[in-house]
Amino acid sequence: MNPRAPQLLAADANVALDLAQKNDWVLDALSTIRTRLAGCSLLVPPTVSDEPAWLADHAEESKTRTHARKFLRHHRTWGFELVRAIPLGDAYVEKVAARLLQSELLPSTEANDARILAESAALGCFILLTSDEHLRAIDFQRLSFELAVFDLTTPVIATPREAVRKFFR
């Protein structure tokens, strides 16, 4: 890794909503990441960015609507950057996501998860913070093999709890 290159982390929507709820593990993970990786950027990929926006207006539970709105209002203050487009393009991301589904690394019903992972890799993120069980269950070696076909580096997929316990302490 180039020591001068910015260190990029991606966050899934569940992390964003948990942050809005002041979840201790998310708060600890972000504090630890900021301490250990000063100057890193916390990115919210496009597919993830769309979810809080949709939930803010359409979630069935009022708490979920409230937390989604809170994240959207405060994401900059909390150090998150909403990414609206992937420089490699939507068609490229779709091709990568389709490959992840075709290779059965994710169930066929998890197209959004495939996009989130493809976007995170295309952005050059070295960690994807998520609590999503489908993403966490992916075989890292197989994922690395599939992403190498697209000349993409594989992000480590970790929960906020794992980020604190395994990587930084």
Chain segment 20-71, per-residue pLDDT in tens: 999 999 999 998 888 888 888 999 999 999 999 899 999 999 999 999 999 9
C-alpha 165: how far from chain center: 18
d(CA 17, CA 147): 28
**pLDDT grade, residue 104 (50/70/90)?**
very high
Average pLDDT over residues 92-120: 96
**pLDDT grade, residue 3 (50/70/90)?**
low
**pLDDT grade, residue 1 (50/70/90)?**
very low
Above 60 in pLDDT, residue 2?
no
For residue 27, what are the CA distances in angstroms to 15, 56, 161?
10, 22, 10
Please give the CATH topology (third level) of the domain spanning 8-167.
Rossmann fold (3.40.50)
d(CA 1, CA 10): 17
